[in-house]
């Protein structure tokens, strides 16, 4: 996969789909990567078949990108800066941007920092939790640094440790990331996101918070309930894909 340099880091990405199509930038979630979040669940094929140019980044600390261990390197503002730098690297002035979970938070901060770059935004897997905060995450950094998953207690820490092991991630980079990447969006900041926005969350997602309550804070947002899906399974859901294609076509 190609790489580009930003902030003294080498960051991986792909640039696929229809070269002349409207660009869609995809930003994956915590402990995931561009393949796990976007290729394996079929998003690259879905968007490419619909005629879009599909660009995805491996966030710092993830996938094939460099992995600093300094927690101050992982604020959502900094990672939004990586996403903006990729668009500049590819000479893309404006793109639809879709993020899932942590990627949704990065997308929101990108909307605030570079509003002219964002044609529309899709925030998947993160609703009002982006503003109110997410409970039950305190033990995840410890779980990631533990010698073995057998040393980890608690359902959510074990879930993320297992996911990190499954994706063969650098656990120490992820531990640094989780300590600063969950910065909350204020209600006032949410109200300043003017890009057309779709907020999509699974109805069984116990992490994200209400999509409707987040959409209500934003001037140009709509909410989507992804029926019967939890945080891990919503990302590849057919209802989500169909709604995303309809939303992108409308904007």
Does 174 map to a domain? no
Instruction: Give the chain's mean pLDDT.
Output: 96
Number of domains making up the chain:
1
In a domain, 139, yes or no: no
- Helix then strand then coil, in percent of the chain rounded to 5, is 45, 20, 35
8 A C-beta contact, residue 188 and residue 164: no
Comparing 56-65, 103-112, 146-155, 223-232, the range with the smallest average pLDDT is 146-155
pLDDT at position 183 over 70:
yes
Rounded distance, CA 198 to CA 102, Å?
A: 16
Cα 237 → chain centroid? 16
Asked if the structure places residue 26 within a domain, the reply is: yes
Question: Could you tell me if residue 141 is inside a domain?
Answer: no
Tell me what the mean pLDDT of segment 218-246 comes to: 97
- The model's pTM: 0.96
Write out the residue range of the structural domain in which residue 20 sits: 3-133+181-250
- Answer for the pair 25, 83: CB distance below 8 angstroms, yes or no: yes
Rounded mean pLDDT of 205-220? 96
Q: How far is CA 192 from the centre of its chain?
A: 20
- CATH number for 200: 3.40.50.1820
Mean pLDDT value of segment 150-179:
91
The Cα–Cα gap between 203 and 215 comes to 16
Whole-angstrom distance, CA of residue 232 vs CA of residue 143: 18
171 domain-assigned: no
| Cα–Cα distance, 222 to 232 (Å, whole number) | 22
Q: Is residue 213 part of a domain?
A: yes
| Average pLDDT estimate for 201-225 | 97
The predicted pLDDT at position 155 comes to: 86
- Segment 50-77 mean pLDDT: 98
User: 99 forms bridges with which residues in the sheet?
Assistant: 27, 123
What is the average pLDDT across 55-59? 98
């Amino acid at each position: 996969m190609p790489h580009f340099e930003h902030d003294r880091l080498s960051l991986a990405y792909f640039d696929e789909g229809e070269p002349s199509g409207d660009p869609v930038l995809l930003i994956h979630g915590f402990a995931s990567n561009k393949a796990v979040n976007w290729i394996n669940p079929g998003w690259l094929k879905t968007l490419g078949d619909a005629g879009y140019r599909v660009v995805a980044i491996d966030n710092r600390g993830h996938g094939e990108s460099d992995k600093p261990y300094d927690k101050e390197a992982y604020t959502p503002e900094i990672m939004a800066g990586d996403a903006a730098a990729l668009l500049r690297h590819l000479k893309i002035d404006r793109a639809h941007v879709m993020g899932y979970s942590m990627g949704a938070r990065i997308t929101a901060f990108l909307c605030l920092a570079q509003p002219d770059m964002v044609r529309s935004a899709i925030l998947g897997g993160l609703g009002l939790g982006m503003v109110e905060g997410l409970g039950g995450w305190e033990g995840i950094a410890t779980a990631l640094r533990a010698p073995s998953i057998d040393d980890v207690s608690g359902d959510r820490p074990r879930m993320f440790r297992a996911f990190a092991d499954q994706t063969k991630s650098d656990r120490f980079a992820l531990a640094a990331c989780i300590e600063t990447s969950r910065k909350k969006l204020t209600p006032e900041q949410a109200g300043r996101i003017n890009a057309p926005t779709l907020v999509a969350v699974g109805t069984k997602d116990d992490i994200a918070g209400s999509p409707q309550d987040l959409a209500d804070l934003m001037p140009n947002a709509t909410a989507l309930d992804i029926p019967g899906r939890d945080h891990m399974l919503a990302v590849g859901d057919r209802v989500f894909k169909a709604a995303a294609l309809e939303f992108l076509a409308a904007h």
